[in-house]
Amino acid sequence: MKEFKGKVAVITGAASGIGRGIAERCVSEGMRVVLADIDDANLAKAESELKALGETVLGVRTDVSKRSDVELLARQTLDAFGQVHLLVNNAGVGAGGSPWEATWNDWEWVIGVNLWGVIHGVKVFTPLMLSQNVECHIVNTASAAGLVVGGSSAPYSVTKHAVVTLSESLYLTLQRRSALVKVSVLCPGLVRTNIANCEDRRPADLKNEAVEISPEMRAGLAAFKKFIEVSMTPSQVADMVFEAIKNEQFYILTHPEWIEVIQMRTDNLLRMEDPRDPALTVMKLIQSAKA
């Protein structure tokens, strides 16, 4: 898909971060945009600000972990615009630690948003896009964490690996059918988003009981937030996403320096060696990005 003006985009997690950056780029391309997010206040703000730029924008409150919400999102999109050409399954959260220390609530919340959210988007929208018989594109947001040995959050890493695999399966199936619907998987490194504050959006029934946070964990979170503040901007990511859509490029690696860490995992696998902790290499990459 190389022409965007007048076409319809649906973006989840669109009220902030990467989703908001992509939405802004869609508006600048003259697209009609549907913003989906669970954050009512930021969703209303994004809708108002993007409408002020002169394009048609519709905000739809959506909990992507619920199939019924995504089905309603599709219906409202079709009711408003009659079609959809670009779907960005972008909503995501992070929580939990090691596989056994992450709580049941952590696992359920992260899998619900990060994985089921993408599954729901793919299952609901792909048939609609195929039926239109015009050029369309689906972008699934994974992470560089979906291509390397698991990090400090097992639920996050598990879901991001799964999104990469889901996207690969979707790509190959559509390719075999010579479909006009194309696919990309977005695997960013650190980007200036609100993911460090995503606990504010955790549903009440999945909140953890209050626990005392150790000084080490508190210091680690503070350092992460500082790294985020100086990392790549969402608008930079959006530029890369649109370039990939135009070129029908599947893998979108926003931070090529992460290839070193990806290669480490691949080499270990091919040599049938035990996994190596990528933490030191990742920290070096983060420090270089900060500089």
For 234-261, write each residue's pLDDT tens digit.
999 999 999 999 999 999 999 988 898 8
- The active-site residue, picked from 125, 156, 242, 258, is 156
User: Which pLDDT score is estimated for 216?
Assistant: 57
pLDDT category of residue 134 using cuts at 50, 70 and 90: very high
Sorted by sequence, the CB contacts under 8 Å of residue 259 that are 6+ apart come out as 253
Q: What is the mean pLDDT of residues 118-134?
A: 98
Q: Look at 283 and 259; give whichever has higher pLDDT.
A: 259
Q: Look at 77 and 229; give whichever has higher pLDDT.
A: 77
Q: Look at 106 and 225; give whichever has higher pLDDT.
A: 106
User: Does the annotation mark 156 as catalytic?
Assistant: yes
CA 137 to each of CA 77, 190, 243, 254: distance values in angstroms, whole numbers, following the listed order: 16, 24, 12, 19
User: Which pLDDT score is estimated for 197?
Assistant: 81
User: Which pLDDT score is estimated for 24?
Assistant: 97
User: Which pLDDT score is estimated for 144?
Assistant: 93
> What structural domains does the chain harbor?
8-215+233-256 (3.40.50.720)
Q: What is the DSSP letter of 208?
A: P
pLDDT category of residue 226 using cuts at 50, 70 and 90: low
